[in-house]
Amino acid sequence: LAKTTQPISMDSYEGQEVNITCSHNNIATNDYITWYQQFPSQGPRFIIQGYKTKVTNEVASLFIPADRKSSTLSLPRVSLSDTAVYYCLVGGGTTSGTYKYIFGTGTRLKVLA
């Protein structure tokens, strides 16, 4: 099961682009990369998922290099409401059919006015 490493915290200002990088050196061939956002006392919320190259949706972009050993979540023009903890998750599937979806420590993003 791939272990992920993210910065513990980041600060940014409103209107800036924020990039959060996650390292996952042991990612397996069939693993996907998924990012979640969590506000205090709330359940995590799905942001974006990808397998390789670049994925973009209405809230974020996900960049995955060819070796897939890292990924970068890009949040364009952040606002104060983007202050949250961001989790990078990798994989979950095994050949035995069991699935452990394990969250790392996450990155605590603080957006300043």
Partner 1 sequence: DSGVTQTPKHLITATGQRVTLRCSPRSGDLSVYWYQQSLDQGLQFLIQYYNGEERAKGNILERFSAQQFPDLHSELNLSSLELGDSALYFCASSVAGSVNTGELFFGEGSRLTVL
Q: Which residues bind partner 1 (CB under 8 A)?
A: 30-32, 34, 36, 41-46, 49, 87, 91-93, 97-106
Least Å distance between CB 107 and partner 1?
11
Q: Which is nearer to partner 1, 79 or 94 (CB)?
A: 94
Phi–psi pair at 15, nearest 5 degrees: 90, -10
The answer to whether residues 101 and 33 touch, using CB atoms and an 8 Å cutoff, is no
**CB nearer to partner 1: pick between 14 and 34:** 34
For residue 31, the one-letter residue type is D
β-bridge mates for residue 112, sequence order: 13
Nearest to 88 by CA among 47, 28, 42, 58: 47
Closer to partner 1 by Cβ: residue 43 or 67 = 43
What tokens were used for 41? 């006392």
Rounded least distance, CB 15 to partner 1, Å: 28
Sole residue written with tokens 């961001």? 86
Which CB sits closer to partner 1, 21 or 93?
93
Minimal distance, residue 3 CB to partner 1, in Å? 13
Q: Which residues contact 29 (CB under 8 A, 6 or more apart)?
A: none
Q: How far is the CB of 14 from partner 1 (least distance, A)?
A: 25
